[in-house]
Copies of this chain bind each other. A is one copy, B any other.
């Protein structure tokens, strides 16, 4: 196991009716709040009314910035930074899913950065200061409600980049699984694929002696898969939503990855799909992950046998490791299929036209600074292209 440094200061208030406490909960942090959200769904659902009533009741002022879209845009982040400065905002409250939260995080660190906030993402400059961010989660998926990361799309450059910094952890997140009842089935499925991928990126490692985090990863993956099928069946199953919702938070707050070298190739490869085709992140991951597994598993076959047996419940002869692994991958694809997720790039509407371009962007070749992606097996652009090909 590797040394680690863990610090998750985010407070999580979880359960029924918790959204109505948001004003009182924020009172110690703020006098004036930027209420940041996406489209009209929070207005239709009544959540907007509940949150604004709670803010008013607590005597908090607020200004609003809606309009966050999936794969959140840098241009709106710029707008948010300007608005916060103009209005003297001292906390950003994201009411939404990962896109809204990631947008809020970008505003929060951009607020204090002298240059363009995109520099932080592109050059991985450590943030020195930020406005605090709080969240009311409406989509369990990205784990952004307690993670230290944010992903923003620069629409001019067709680049989607992730950025990690301790300043990006929200101070407070409110998670009420009842708010997930009205999510469309495809959004549920995408969210599940995303949270599972957050675990896979940590689970698949060459680091040895990781019993505890192995077990925590496996338990969380199994819980998510079991309960995801239950909410897919009945979107008003509160108890199952609790497991999926809490699973999504745990999946990406880094406890499951402590002391392990991590992978993150699938996320890097998927960001290229989303940047050009604007596909849903989770759907892209569901297509790429099994292809990635198939391509890399021989690098550490025992790790993948463990996955097949402990996560996917495969039984059989350990003398035919390939068969165990391939059955594990097949069961994962089957699970994604049951959730209604796509099984190929073709189903995402992606043909061969940009595969090589994406592989070269993903590995920096397109920008003249070539690098590999992935921790378990280091992938160059030809490897990435081969994985895209496998996923056709």
Which residues of A does B touch, CB under 8 Å? 1-16, 18, 208-209, 211-212, 214-216, 218-220, 222-223, 226-227, 239-240, 242-243, 246-247, 250, 255, 258-259
Contacts and interface: CB of A to CB of B under 8 A. Distances in A.
A14 B18 contact: no
A70 B90 CA distance: 47
15 contacts: A1-B246, A3-B15, A4-B12, A4-B14, A5-B13, A7-B11, A8-B8, A209-B242, A212-B219, A212-B223, A212-B250, A215-B219, A215-B222, A216-B219, A216-B220
A261 to B, nearest CB: 14
Contact of A211 (B14, B212, B223): B223
A222 B18 CA distance: 34
A218 B214 CA distance: 12
A175 to B, nearest CB: 10
Contacts of A13: 4-5
B242 A1 contact: yes
Nearest to A215: B219
A242 B259 contact: yes
Contacts of A220: 212, 215-216
Given A1-B239, A3-B18, A218-B219, A212 B246 contact: yes
A369 B128 CA distance: 54
Contacts of A240: 209
A137 to B, nearest CB: 14
A220 B255 CA distance: 13
A239 to B, nearest CB: 4
B5 A11 contact: yes
